[in-house]
C-alpha cells in the first residue's frame, strides 16, 4: 500500500507560537470510545432510556418494528427550502418540505460528504468513503479495479435479514456493473436510473453538448463507454429489466414524476404487508442538468429550470407524504429528508443556493452542510430545532437500531456512524456526535466539533464559483484555519491562535480520527488514492 502520509498530516507537526500541538482528544471533548472499531459517542443514558420506553410502547401497539423512509435530493443547497431561509424568498416556494420541518425536527448542522457517491455509499455502510474506496463519483470511462461492495455490509442487507422489505427508488450512482447495483448489494428491489442527470443529458441535449450529440463519430465513441440511460427495474437474486430509455430532454424532465409515482404505488403495497419497510427515495433532480416536466414548466415563481426542479421535488415530497398518511403509515414511519451534498455552483444558474462559503466539491460549509429534517408523527415533537452536529452516516446506525439489529453491525471494520435514535426522538434530544470529519478523496480536510471547525487543507476555486472544474487543494500554510461558525458562519475570519486550547482539542480530535486508519486501512478500488 502507498505510504499513509495522511496519518501524520503536517498540521500535527505545526506549532502555533511556542505551543506544540500535541494535545490529543480531551479538553472539551465529551465523547467516549467504548469499542475500538466504533466512532466515539457522547453518552446520553437518560434520553436513551426515555426513547427506548417510547419505542417499546409503540411496538406493543403496532406489533412490528418501525418503517424507515429516506427522501434524498441530489445537490439541493442548504438555502433552497423555505424552512432553511430559501423557498419563496429565492423564487421557489417549498410548502411541503416546510410542513415536514414544522411537524418534526429541523437540523441546522446536518452534514454530508462533499459529492454524491461518497455520501450515498457512506449512509448505506456507516463508513467514510476513504474506508470503502468510494472516494468520488463514478463517472463515464472509469474502470474500477475492485467491486467496493464485495466486502461491505450494507444497511439494506442488514434490514432485509431483520425482516424488512427494502427498496431503492431513483438515482443510485454507486456502481452500475453486475454485483454493484442496488439489488446486488442488499435491496430487495430497485427502480431507477444508475447515473446522475448530467451523465444522461450529455447524450440528449444538443444545446449544451453539441460537440458530442451532433457529431456521429464522437457520439458512437461515447456510447461505447456504456453509461446507462435507462430506467431499470431489478430484483434481488432475480431479473433486471430495462423499463424505458431517456431519449430526450422531455423524458429526462419526466423522470422524477415516474419515480415518485412508483414510490407512492409501493407505499400502498407495503401498507398491506405484515412486514416493515425501508425505502430510500433518491430524486434525480435537482442535480444539473434540470429539465422541467412538461406539465410543471414554470412551476416556480422564478421560472428558471433549477427553481422549477426545486418546486417539483417539493410537490413529490407532498405526494409521498400524502400517500403515507392515506395508508395510515405516518405513526410508524421515520421519515428523513436531506440532500447528498451542497449546490453545484459550477453549473450556475442550474444550481442551488447556500448561505455558506464554498459549494459542492469543497469541504467548506457550502459543500457539506445540508438540509436535514426528521419527521415521525407522534414520536418527534413538532417544531423541534437543533444545531447539534449530525452526520448523515448516523442514519445507518439509527436505522439498524430501530430495526433491533444492533448485533448485525460488523465488528471487523471501522464504523464511522453513530446511533442517533434518542437524539431524533427525545423531546429535548441532544446529539451523541461530538465531531464530524470531512475528506476529499484521500485528503483529510477538516473537522467540525461543537461550533468550531478546523481546516488542514482547503479546496480553493481558481475562478469564481468553479469549485469542481477549476479548483485546487491547498495546504493551509502555517497554521490550521480555525473558525468559530457562530461568529463566522461563512468561514471568513479565523479565531486562530488566540484560541489555542480549543484549537488543540479539535486538531487532537482530527489526529485521533486519522489514527483509526492505522488498524483499519483504507480500501483502493481504482478511483484514486492520491
Ligand atoms: Ca449530489
Q: For residue range 336-386, list pLDDT tens digits in order.
A: 999 999 999 999 999 999 999 999 999 999 999 999 999 999 999 999 999
62 alpha carbon to ligand 1 midpoint, in Å? 36
376, 333 contact by CB (below 8 A): yes
Task: Answer whether residue 530 shows pLDDT above 60.
Answer: no
List, for residues 177-201, the tens digit of each pLDDT value: 899 999 999 999 999 999 899 989 9
Residue 459: φ, ψ to 5°: -95, 120
Task: Answer whether residue 413 shows pLDDT above 70.
Answer: yes
Per-residue confidence (pLDDT) for residue 529, from 0 to 100: 61
Per-residue confidence (pLDDT) for residue 259, from 0 to 100: 98
Query: Would you give the DSSP letter of residue 332?
Result: G
Query: Would you give the DSSP letter of residue 195?
Result: S
Domain range list for the chain:
45-162+307-436
Q: What is the end-to-end Cα distance of the chain in Å, rounded? A: 12
What is the CA angle 392-397-402, rounded to 5? 115
pTM of the model: 0.94
User: 5-9, 188-192, 385-389, 439-443: which range is least confident on average?
Assistant: 5-9
Task: Answer whether residue 10 shows pLDDT above 80.
Answer: no
469 alpha carbon to ligand 1 midpoint, in Å? 15
Per-residue confidence (pLDDT) for residue 140, from 0 to 100: 65
282 alpha carbon to ligand 1 midpoint, in Å? 10
- Compute the mean pLDDT over every residue in the chain, rounded to the nearest whole number: 92
The band of 265, judged by pLDDT with boundaries at 50, 70 and 90, is very high
Per-residue confidence (pLDDT) for residue 9, from 0 to 100: 43
517 alpha carbon to ligand 1 midpoint, in Å? 26
List, for residues 485-512, the tens digit of each pLDDT value: 999 999 999 987 777 778 888 989 999 9
Q: How many residues does the chain have?
A: 530
List, for residues 133-183, the tens digit of each pLDDT value: 988 877 766 778 889 899 999 999 999 999 999 999 999 988 888 999 999
In whole angstroms, how far apart are CA 358 and each of 342, 369, 462, 465, 514?
Answer: 9, 10, 12, 8, 24
Helix axes 305-326, 249-271, angle to 10 degrees: 20
78 alpha carbon to ligand 1 midpoint, in Å? 13
Q: Minimal CA–CA distance to 275: which of 59, 60, 64, 61?
A: 64
Per-residue confidence (pLDDT) for residue 498, from 0 to 100: 73
List, for residues 268-310, the tens digit of each pLDDT value: 999 999 999 999 999 999 999 999 999 999 999 999 999 999 9
Q: What is the average per-residue pLDDT within 450-454? A: 95
272 alpha carbon to ligand 1 midpoint, in Å? 33
Per-residue confidence (pLDDT) for residue 47, from 0 to 100: 98
Per-residue confidence (pLDDT) for residue 15, from 0 to 100: 32
Per-residue confidence (pLDDT) for residue 359, from 0 to 100: 97
Q: What is the 3-state secondary structure (H, E, C) of 378-420?
A: CCCCCCEEECCCEECCHHHHHHHHHCCCHHHCCCCCCECCCCC
Residue showing cell 483504507: 522
Q: What is the 3-state secondary structure (H, E, C) of 62-124?
A: HCCCCEEEEEEECCCCCCCCHHHCCHHHHCCCCHHHHHHHHCCEEEEEEECCCCHHHHHHHHH
Domain 45-162+307-436 has CATH 3.40.720.10: yes
Per-residue confidence (pLDDT) for residue 439, from 0 to 100: 96
Q: What is the average per-residue pLDDT within 36-55? A: 98
Query: Would you give the DSSP letter of residue 36?
Result: T
Per-residue confidence (pLDDT) for residue 526, from 0 to 100: 84
* Active site (catalytic) residues: 116, 173
Task: Answer whether residue 473 shows pLDDT above 60.
Answer: yes
Q: What is the average per-residue pLDDT within 415-432? A: 98
Q: What is the average per-residue pLDDT within 503-523? A: 92
Distance CA 256, CA 137 (A): 21
Residue 152: φ, ψ to 5°: -105, 150
142 alpha carbon to ligand 1 midpoint, in Å? 18
Amino acid at each position: 500500500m502507498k505510504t499513509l502520509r495522511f496519518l501524520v498530516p503536517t498540521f500535527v507537526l505545526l506549532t502555533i507560537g511556542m505551543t506544540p500541538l500535541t494535545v490529543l482528544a480531551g479538553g472539551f471533548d465529551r465523547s467516549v470510545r467504548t469499542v475500538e472499531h466504533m466512532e466515539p459517542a457522547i453518552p446520553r443514558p437518560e434520553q436513551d432510556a426515555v426513547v427506548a420506553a417510547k419505542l417499546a410502547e409503540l411496538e406493543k401497539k403496532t406489533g412490528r418494528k418501525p418503517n424507515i423512509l429516506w427522501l434524498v435530493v441530489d445537490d439541493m443547497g442548504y438555502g433552497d427550502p423555505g424552512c432553511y431561509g430559501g423557498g419563496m424568498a429565492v423564487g421557489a416556494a417549498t410548502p411541503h418540505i416546510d410542513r415536514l420541518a414544522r411537524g418534526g425536527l429541523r437540523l441546522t448542522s446536518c452534514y454530508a460528504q462533499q459529492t454524491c457517491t461518497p455520501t450515498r455509499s457512506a449512509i448505506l455502510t456507516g463508513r467514510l468513503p476513504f474506508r470503502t474506496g468510494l472516494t468520488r463519483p463514478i463517472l463515464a470511462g472509469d474502470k474500477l479495479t475492485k467491486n467496493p461492495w464485495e466486502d461491505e455490509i450494507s444497511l439494506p442487507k442488514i434490514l432485509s435479514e431483520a425482516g424488512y422489505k427494502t427498496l431503492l427508488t431513483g438515482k443510485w450512482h454507486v456502481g452500475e456493473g453486475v454485483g454493484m447495483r442496488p439489488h446486488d448489494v442488499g435491496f430487495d428491489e430497485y427502480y431507477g436510473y444508475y447515473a446522475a442527470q448530467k451523465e444522461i443529458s450529455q447524450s440528449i441535449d444538443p444545446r449544451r453538448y453539441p460537440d458530442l450529440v451532433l457529431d456521429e463519430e464522437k457520439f458512437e465513441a461515447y456510447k461505447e463507454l456504456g453509461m446507462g440511460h435507462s430506467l431499470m427495474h431489478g430484483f434481488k437474486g432475480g431479473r433486471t429489466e430495462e423499463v424505458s430509455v431517456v431519449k430526450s430532454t422531455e423524458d429526462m424532465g419526466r423522470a422524477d414524476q415516474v419515480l415518485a409515482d412508483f414510490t407512492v404505488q409501493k407505499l400502498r403495497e407495503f401498507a398491506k404487508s405484515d412486514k416493515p419497510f425501508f425505502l430510500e427515495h433518491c430524486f434525480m433532480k435537482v442535480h444539473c442538468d434540470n429539465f422541467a416536466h412538461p406539465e410543471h414548466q414554470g412551476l416556480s415563481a422564478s421560472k428558471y429550470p433549477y427553481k422549477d426542479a426545486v418546486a417539483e421535488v417539493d410537490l413529490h415530497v407532498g405526494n409521498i407524504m400524502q400517500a403515507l398518511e392515506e395508508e395510515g403509515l405516518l405513526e410508524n414511519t421515520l421519515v428523513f429528508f436531506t440532500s447528498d451534498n451542497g449546490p453545484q455552483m459550477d453549473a450556475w444558474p442550474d444550481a442551488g443556493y447556500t448561505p455558506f462559503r464554498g459549494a459542492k466539491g469543497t469541504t467548506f460549509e457550502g459543500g457539506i452542510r445540508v438540509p436535514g429534517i426528521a419527521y415521525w408523527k407522534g414520536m418527534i415533537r413538532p417544531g423541534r430545532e437543533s444545531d447539534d452536529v449530525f452526520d448523515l452516516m448516523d442514519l445507518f446506525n439509527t436505522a439498524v437500531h430501530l430495526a433491533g439489529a444492533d448485533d448485525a453491525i460488523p465488528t471487523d471494520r471501522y464504523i464511522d456512524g453513530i446511533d442517533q435514535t434518542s437524539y431524533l426522538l427525545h423531546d429535548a434530544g441532544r446529539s451523541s456526535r461530538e465531531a464530524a470529519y470531512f475528506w476529499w478523496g484521500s485528503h483529510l480536510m477538516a473537522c467540525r466539533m461543537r461550533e468550531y471547525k478546523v481546516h488542514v487543507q482547503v479546496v480553493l476555486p481558481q475562478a469564481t464559483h468553479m469549485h469542481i472544474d477549476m479548483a485546487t487543494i491547498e495546504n493551509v500554510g502555517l497554521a490550521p484555519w480555525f473558525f468559530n461558525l457562530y461568529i463566522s458562519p461563512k468561514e471568513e475570519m479565523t479565531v486562530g491562535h488566540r484560541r489555542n486550547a480549543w484549537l488543540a482539542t479539535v486538531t487532537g480530535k482530527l489526529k485521533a480520527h486519522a489514527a483509526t486508519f492505522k488498524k483499519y486501512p483504507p480500501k483502493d478500488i481504482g478511483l484514486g488514492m492520491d
